[in-house]
Amino acid sequence: MENVCLDKSTALVLAHGCFRDIHGKVAHGLVRGTDRFDIVAVIDPDCAGHDAGSLLDGHSRGIPVFASIEAALEQARIRPDFAIVGMATHGGRFTPTLRASLLEAARAGLSLVNGLHDRAGDDPEIAAETARHGAKILDLRRPKPVDELHFWSGQIHGVGAPRIAVLGTDCALGKRTTSRLLTQALNAEGIKTEMIYTGQTGWMQGGKHGLILDALPNDFVSGELEHAILGCYRECRPDLIVLEGQSALRNPSGPCGAELLLSGAAAGVILQHAPGRRCYDGFDGPNFRIPPVEDEIRLIEHYGVPVLGLSLNGRDSSPEELMEAQHRLSRTLDIPVVCPLGEGVAELVPPLRSLLDRKQVA
């Protein structure tokens, strides 16, 4: 999808009933920032009448939340070109409400961007309506033809820019947000840095280099990751490359992360963790307990890759609990521990600069 140019198209984001919870994470990312779209509205009847940014993190962004597509088309500051699915539904399937909204958007002449496994272009009614209006459908998880995919070749070891993998102890923790903030912070410090996105939201936010990992046949995940890194390095010649992680090494519903450590040849890890979360997202009980963060660090280091910093997600903690966890982990782990949506990620820059200096000397 990286070759699709939308020229900063205007868009509304569909987040019915989930903008206030974890399943609205795609919408959250788009409200926080995107270089590909101008977001003019969010659709969620449960929180209509509010500013999306204020609801998200207390910072107004001039993006109103409307109860319906019809209301947004009547009242938004500018008519949108696209309707984007901003929901992460269970199994990536269309709910009846979401399908009805996509059909409504298509009938209104909007083009569609969909990152779920269900494909809008395969729905005859939705496809017919978009075609009738001359609109388009971008199903981001539609795999490329096999003859366009790449196997891993080992060329990654010729890439001069060290890779930093942002891994997590679970899914839906903010790995992408931390990756973006870290990339911005490193560039602000004069370290030329590029980010490799690995999910649909990264593309929606304007990522130039990446892949949608869970839309790929497993045989090609390592090769497509390597191919994205190679393309980024050849085109941009960055000093450092940040790799957005997916899920977690030990999440039983979809283990992921070893690809970044091995196939991406990561030189270091920033680990994302929610100290208040006890079980893997969507599960409960003793079989689904998240291991202690210290144990996860030891596992990563068994791959031969050092954990250089910890980034905390406070969704399942009170502010006081999050602060206590930050201080405790900073003392016991002896690495920088940050709350990226609070004080930012500046404390993660010095260990990455030191890593880069060591690589350059070597």
The third-level CATH classification (topology) of the domain covering 148-361 is: Rossmann fold (3.40.50)
Domain boundaries, the chain: 9-139, 148-361
Instruction: Give SS3 for 67.
Output: coil
Can you state the angle between helices 124-132 and 96-107, rounded to 10 degrees? 20
State yes or no: pLDDT of 1 exceeds 80: no
What is the pLDDT at residue 360?
79
- The mean per-residue pLDDT over the stretch 313-331 comes to 95
What b/e readout covers 91-114, taking b as 16+ CB neighbours within 10 angstroms?
ebebbeebbebbbbbbebebbbbb
Mean of the per-residue pLDDT values of the chain? 95
- Which residues 6+ apart lie within 8 Å of 196 measured at CB? 207, 209, 210, 211, 225, 228, 229, 232, 241, 242, 243, 244, 264
- Residue 239: count of CB within 10 angstroms of its CB: 19
Q: In CATH terms, are 9-139 and 148-361 the same topology? A: yes
Domain 9-139, CATH class in plain words: alpha beta
- The mean per-residue pLDDT over the stretch 27-48 comes to 96
* CA–CA dist 20, 214 (Å, integer): 25
Element (H, E) at 293: helix 293-302
8 falls in which pLDDT band (50, 70, 90)? confident
Positions of E strands within the chain: 9-14, 37-43, 65-66, 82-85, 111-114, 137-139, 163-168, 193-197, 209-210, 240-244, 268-273, 307-312, 337-338
State yes or no: pLDDT of 326 exceeds 70: yes
Predicted TM-score (pTM) of this structure: 0.94
Task: Give backbone dihedrals phi and psi of 65, rounded to 5 degrees, phi first.
Answer: -100, 125
What is the pLDDT at residue 3?
43
For residue 116, give both structure tokens: 């779920």
- Ordered strands of the 9-14 beta sheet: 65-66, 37-43, 9-14, 82-85, 111-114, 137-139
pLDDT in tens, 88-98: 998 899 999 99
- The mean per-residue pLDDT over the stretch 197-223 comes to 96
Question: Do residues 276 and 315 make contact, with C-beta atoms less than 8 angstroms apart?
Answer: yes
In the DSSP assignment, the letter for residue 209 is: E
What does the CA dihedral 332, 168, 275, 292 come to, rounded to 10 degrees? -60
State yes or no: pLDDT of 207 exceeds 50: yes
